Structure formats: C-alpha cells, structure tokens
Structure 1
C-alpha cells in the first residue's frame, strides 16, 4: 500500500510504501476510494494544532474516508468484503486521531467507526459527509439546538459553512450568512440562504437566535457575540486561530451563551447521508488524485478553496 506520512510540523508529507495490514479483532481493512482534505490537517502540518493530536507523528493523516471493505477481522459482525462504507465518529478514536488515516490506498479501522454508504451516494460525497457533513450537523442540531422557524447566521461559507447552511434550510430555519469571498455568495443563494454579507456584525439588525462560526479567526467570534440577539446562542466551530478576544460586555450584558462544538457522532453522519440519499443535500467538492494530496493541502493553506477537496483513490 501507499500512504502520505506526516512526520512533524512544518515538514512535507512523505510518500511511503508498506505492507497492507491484516485486520484482527474488530478491525476492518478498507480500500480507500475517497479521502477528503480538511483544514484541520493544515493546522496539524503548520504546527497550530500539532500539540492537540491524540497521537504524535509519525502518522498518516486524513479523517474523511469512504471506501470498500476488503477484509474484516473475526470479531466484526456488521460488515463484509465488498460493502461500501464511510468512517465516522470523533477524531479521538477514528482515522487521523490515534490511528493512521485516509491519505493512503488502504486503511485499518475499528468497526465502530464505520457506517454503510448508500448505493446512490458517491465515494466523493460520502467522504465529505464524514466531516463537512457530520461537524456541520452536530454544530447546528446538537450544540445549536436548532428549531424550525428560527433565524440563524452562518459565519464562513467554506466546505463546512456551506453544508451547514443547507442543513439549516432543510431543518426549517431562515438562514443568513457572513462571508467576505463574494464568489461564494451565488452558491449560498442556490442553497436557500436568504442573505449574505461580508461581515458578521452586519447581521446584527436581524436579531438572530443562533450564530455558528465556522471561521474562528477571533474577530469572527467577537462579531458573532455582538451580532446575535440578547439571550441568543453562539456556537464556535472554526479554529482559524486558537485564541480569541471575547467582548465580555456584550457576552454578559446581552446574556449570550457561547458554546464550542467539534466533530460529531455517527448519528450525525447518518443523518447527512440520509439527506444525500434523498437528493436533498450535495456537498460542493472538487476531486484530485492520490498523488496530488500534498498540493491539495497547500491550496487549503493558501485559502480561496470553495467547498471541499476530495482525493479519489
């Protein structure tokens, strides 16, 4: 098998070859068909998020995986060779966390991480569902406690934010967004977003019940607290910066709740896959080859990527 190995912060990924692992116990060997590239891996590579990794390098990154089961360990009950699957869960026990991930041709995963991939959903969409979908769904429906009829704001219309906007529309919310890149505005409109502005503070007149910040650059966090209605909720997802100055006068004076949300659960991924299977949701994604994974991560680091990047393997 081939894989891109992460050996440490500020070092390029190394292309390696190793023996294909044999699954034991409840492990499942998956032939990776789609591997999504995530900005969190950029943070691991540039040192921003490296100290927060459950397992230090060397490790194969990549936690957005869709593929086919090749072999199953003797304790596996739910999956068999040939099954189409995605890997879901939190980074603490799934790929890219404490085990080698999906920037590889093959991946060894615990059965508890896997979900069936519906026949009508492509490997590219399945890979995107495991993070852009899962994280967005959890931020809205779990941390955000979204209810039909609410007016909500989405900060940042990247892969997660755009997906969240569509999920919120499907959940019956009136959705507004803040995104400085105007090339994303038309796409947001086709998703059902009611309005888009360049700065989150411009959403203040709308008296939004909930604002979810998928950017996380400090100023966006502060802006969300200032823009949400009194007694409203701000959910922080983005980690553009790992620290932020919070306007405590607005937080306290308005009685705003600030809540963090990262990752999600298999139930969140399953809900996203159900939307996809019904044709309600498609995550904007561009495809690259396995050899292009380092260049794809560099594109993410430089910014300007609309939607997700998924390596087809």
Structure 2
C-alpha cells in the first residue's frame, strides 16, 4: 500500500510503499476512504515539541480516519465486511479503574492511534474493533474522518447545560468552529467567537456566531462583556486556542461561578493569577481530552442525523494523499487560511 511515513528524525515525511498491516485477533482492517489533518499532526510533521520524544521511526501517522471494513479478526464481534466505520482514536484497555467507571477517554493505559500505534495516512489501517464506530448508512460518509474531532467539540460544548447561556469560543480552528455551531444548535443565548485570522472569522460567522471579535483588538474584553449582555461576565468559555494570552482573557471574561472548558494546548507553561481568576471567582474548570467513549458519538450522530448541525463548511481543502506536502504547507501557514483538510488515498 501507499502511506505517508515519517522515515527520518527530521521535518517532513515521505510517500512510501509499505506493507498492508497484519491485523490482530481483536482488530479490523479498514480500507481508508478519507483521513484528515489534526493540529496534533503538525508537530509530528515538523518533528517539534513532544513528537521528537514520542514518535518511533519509521512511523505512519494520522488518527482522523474512516473507511470500509475489509478484514475482521476472529475475536472482533459485531462487524461485517463492507461496514463503513469512523475511528475513535483513543485506544482504551477496558480493564483499568477509569475504563470501568465510564471514563475510557482517560484510560490509565491509553494509547492514541497514529501517535502510539501506526496510523491512517495510508490506503489501509489496522484498528482495534472496540474503537470502530459503525455507521448505519452512508449519509455521513463524506464527513466520516472528521467525526473524531467533531466529537471533541461535542464533548467540550455539551459537558454542561448551555441552554440560555452566553458562550465565548476562544479560537476558531476547526474545533472552535464546530463548537460554535453546536452551541447555537443546542440553545445558547449568545455565541461570541474570538479569532485572529480573517479567513476563520468568516467561517465562524458562517457557522452561526452571533458576534466575531479579534482578540488582538485592545477593546476586546469590553466588547466581549457588551456582547454577552451581563456586566459580570460570560456564563461559559470554551478555550480552544491554547494561546497564553487567550487563556488569561478567557479567565478574565468568565463570570463568577461560571464554567471554563479547557481544550487548547499551550506550547509551554503559562502564568495564571490562580487566586483571583479561579479560586475567588469560584470558576469551574473542565479539561477535555478526546471524547466520552461512546457517549459523545451518540450525541454527535443525533445532531448530524437530525440536521441540527452540518460541519461540512469547515472542510475547506481536499487533497490526494500523494499531495500531502501541499496540504501540510497550507495547514501550517501562519495566515490560517484553512479549516479542516482532507486527504484521500
């Protein structure tokens, strides 16, 4: 098969001939229909940050994928050849305390597909059957690879009741754009989106944001409070950027006893006024790591099948997998003139 592979401990990747994976007894072999680029694929491609310490070489990466089941391990139950599946990238053990207490997304023995195991930027991938989400029809086939990141946004946005609440989305990469639409669909009174990129500002408006602001504007905080309609602050802040300044702005904007959802990853440790911005304000912090398995998937499917949401506008580019270098060039461009980028074998 053809695959995008890290062959050297250096930036970039190669499009190589690789062996089709041999599946284990509890795995499925899927023929990839589409894969999509995640923000966490960028440091892998650039070979920076955590990736240089974590990634083996050679390595096929990519963890947002969907495809057709073509081979089934003898212990993999509930699937037939020809089933179309999306993939839950968090490979959980099913035996630890977290798994047995409905917290499989933070399994104590967690591995991540395409980071800790060979991934899906290829023509075929081997995946644990327990991580496959079987679609009942083909209505989501064109968005099958983005269901994994869409599930992040579902978990982040709906981890508490948002009906009638003001919601601030900090950062409008794909996750923030998904969250914007989910918040509107699920009854938020006002959705305010923060984004520096004009391209993504326009996407945020298309996805339903009531107000779109540039966080670099010196009057941003004042405008956030005005847009929220309550001088005490915003009910719920969903921080998707990981930018240190944005995180501090989010903590400033959330109202006393409000909720802040933490998803974006800072590149380094940050300074926070812990006492005044969290403790004395009684702010509830919710960390988001992946999706609730599989509760988030059922919510996501209901939102999609009912047409309450349509994430397709966030998909802005599609490339053949062999043209991956161009795709990553666009994804890593500081201008951020893209949403989700799909790769097709």
**Length-normalised TM-score, structure 1:** 0.90
Q: CA deviation at 1:27?
A: 0.7
Deviations 1:260-305 (A, max 9, x none): 2121133313322332233332222121111122321232222313
Deviations 1:199-221 (A, max 9, x none): 26342342211111111111111
Q: Residue 279 in 1 paired to residue 307 in 2?
A: yes
Structure having the higher Rg: 2
Deviation larger for 245-254 or 29-38:
245-254
Structure 1 residues without counterparts, runs of 5 or longer = none
CA spacing shift, 1:257–1:10, aligned 2, 3 Å: farther
Match of 2:249 among 219, 223, 229: 223
Match of 1:163 among 178, 195, 200: 178
How far apart, CA to CA, are the structure 2 residues paired with 1:158 and 1:118? 29
How many residues in Structure 1 have an aligned counterpart in Structure 2? 309
Equivalent positions of 1:126-275 (< 5 A) are 126-131=144-149, 133-142=150-159, 145-174=160-189, 175-199=191-215, 201=221, 202-205=223-226, 206=228, 207-248=233-274, 249-264=276-291, 265-275=293-303
Do the aligned residues in 2 keep the contact of 1:5 with 1:15 (CA within 8 Å)? yes
Deviations 1:40-72 (A, max 9, x none): 11123332231674x644321111111001110
CA spacing shift, 1:10–1:280, aligned 2, 3 Å: farther
How far apart, CA to CA, are the structure 2 residues paired with 1:216 and 1:64? 21
SS at match of 1:309: strand
Q: Tell me what 2:337 maps to.
A: 305
SS at match of 2:16: strand
Q: CA RMSD in A?
A: 2.1
How far apart, CA to CA, are the structure 1 residues paired with 2:17 and 2:158? 41
Q: CA deviation at 1:252?
A: 3.1
How far apart, CA to CA, are the structure 2 residues paired with 1:22 and 1:61? 17
Q: Residue 70 in 1 paired to residue 77 in 2?
A: no
SS at match of 1:310: strand
How far apart, CA to CA, are the structure 1 residues paired with 2:66 and 2:140? 9
Deviation larger for 241-250 or 203-212:
241-250
**Length-normalised TM-score, structure 2:** 0.83
Do the aligned residues in 1 keep the contact of 2:64 with 2:89 (CA within 8 Å)? no
Q: CA deviation at 1:33?
A: 0.8
Deviation larger for 56-65 or 90-99:
90-99
SS at match of 1:229: strand
Q: Residue 50 in 1 paired to residue 66 in 2?
A: no
Deviations 1:132-179 (A, max 9, x none): x0111111223xx23311111101111110101111112211321111
